[in-house]
């Protein structure tokens, strides 16, 4: 059972390895939503995610014999690092099975804590099945990333810190993959104050918990598709499901496009890197139909590789019309590029890239194509630049950017 006494015990245990992340008040999100929004930055943990809490507490509850057999788990990255770090702290062996799609940074970081990493399967569920097989073959002690009450208890210590720092919190938004974090947070929050609303947030392309709650039983999705790799889970936990049914007030789903926008918001307004799964609760703020409430968004992790980060920035800028491309046909004679550049400059547009194609047709006298990628302040500014180009006779055509 998840009891207040166990949560209190876990809170003391995890202090040995976890940082007590202080709430960050967000003027930006507060103004946008009409609420008082606070961020719980678990991306600042030593392993870059909250998972160190549940992993360390679970391992603390094992016997010496269970630990000495060696530990094994399956994870898309954050639980992997939590188990690897905790195992190193206890001086025991750890084997981590990760999906082959796991970002390289998460793989390398897990190895850096001394764990043996095995890559298997395309999604978490396939990696987990293989981890169980290895556990049986070698006698390892399996540490489940979410379907374990001790692990969930460790994750729930986040709620203890939130309520201690913000006793009158109205809403806590928590990401959901398999459900361990949401189980711990919602259960402890309700034990401390039944009036606190705990809302789970899932990717629209991996909403296994939402479907399971609707069906009133644990349900496996046929496929998952989301950029939030840490929450790309087909089947939620069975042991924790009753706690979710009892304590979670609602579930919100968000799209990948919303996560891209949330990434840009966090980077620009809070100067933080938060991975896509951790951004679920930020994107969900736009879905809450409340005003004047104290809301905490749990940023569950920040383990994002540089290539993904770069893509998120570029697609975010495109999504918000801060980068766009136009195509126009110009007479093939000197000075034409200067004219069109001057129109853009007069409107404070910044040219990022030029692609001048003289071979679009066989008759160069009919014109050559010029594609211009332009930086703008947003949609209004973009539309103004396009209008001025049209008025100047360049007849611009918006085209999809080829990054």
Instruction: Please list the active-site residues.
Output: 51, 300
Q: Please state, as a whole number, how many other Cβ atoms lie within 10 Å of the Cβ of residue 342.
A: 11
Angle CA(384)–CA(387)–CA(389) in degrees, nearest 5? 110
Q: Please state, as a whole number, how many other Cβ atoms lie within 10 Å of the Cβ of residue 25.
A: 11
Among 217, 179, 170, CA closest to 200: 179
d(CA 132, CA 124): 12
Answer for the pair 303, 77: CB distance below 8 angstroms, yes or no.
yes
- Residue 88: exposure state from Cβ atoms within 10 A (0-12, 13-18, ≥19): middle
Q: What does residue 171 show for φ and ψ, rounded to 5 degrees?
A: -130, 140
d(CA 215, CA 228): 24
CA atoms within 13 A on the CB side of 396: 24
- Residue 246: exposure state from Cβ atoms within 10 A (0-12, 13-18, ≥19): exposed
Length of the chain: 403
d(CA 324, CA 399): 8
Q: What does residue 177 show for φ and ψ, rounded to 5 degrees?
A: -115, -85
């Amino acid at each position: 059972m998840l009891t207040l006494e166990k949560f209190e015990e876990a809170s003391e245990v995890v202090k040995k390895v976890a940082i007590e992340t202080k709430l960050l008040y967000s003027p930006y999100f507060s103004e946008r939503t009409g609420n008082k929004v606070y961020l719980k930055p678990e991306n600042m943990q030593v392993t870059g995610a909250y998972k160190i809490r549940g992993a360390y507490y679970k391992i603390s509850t094992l016997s010496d014999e269970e630990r000495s057999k060696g530990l094994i788990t399956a994870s898309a990255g954050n639980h992997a690092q939590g188990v690897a770090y905790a195992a190193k702290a206890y001086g025991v062996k750890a084997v981590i099975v990760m999906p082959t799609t796991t970002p390289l940074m998460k793989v390398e970081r897990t190895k850096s804590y001394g764990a043996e990493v095995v890559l298997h399967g395309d999604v978490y569920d396939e990696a987990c099945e293989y981890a169980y097989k290895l556990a049986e073959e070698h006698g390892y002690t399996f540490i489940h990333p979410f379907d374990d009450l001790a692990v969930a208890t460790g994750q729930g210590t986040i709620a203890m810190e939130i309520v201690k720092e913000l006793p009158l919190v109205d809403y806590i938004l928590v990401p959901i993959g398999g459900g361990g974090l949401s189980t711990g947070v919602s259960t402890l929050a309700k034990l401390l104050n039944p009036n606190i609303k705990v809302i789970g947030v899932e990717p629209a392309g991996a909403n296994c918990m939402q479907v399971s709650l609707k069906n009133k039983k644990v349900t496996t999705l046929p496929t998952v598709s989301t950029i939030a790799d840490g929450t790309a889970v087909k089947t939620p936990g069975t042991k924790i499901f009753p706690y979710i049914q009892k304590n979670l007030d609602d579930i919100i789903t968000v799209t990948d496009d919303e996560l891209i926008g949330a990434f840009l918001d966090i980077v620009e307004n809070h100067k933080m890197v938060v991975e896509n799964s951790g951004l679920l609760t930020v994107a969900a703020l736009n879905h809450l139909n409340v005003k004047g409430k104290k809301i905490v968004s749990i940023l569950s992790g920040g383990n994002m590789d540089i290539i993904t980060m770069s893509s998120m920035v570029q697609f975010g800028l495109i999504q918000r019309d801060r980068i766009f491309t136009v195509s126009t046909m110009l007479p093939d004679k000197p000075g034409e590029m200067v004219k069109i550049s001057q129109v853009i400059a007069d409107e404070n547009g910044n040219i990022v890239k030029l692609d001048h194609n003289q071979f679009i047709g066989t008759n160069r006298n009919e014109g050559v194509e010029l594609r211009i990628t332009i930086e703008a302040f947003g949609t209004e500014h973009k539309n103004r630049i396009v209008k001025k180009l049209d008025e100047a006779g360049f007849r611009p055509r918006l085209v999809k950017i080829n990054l």
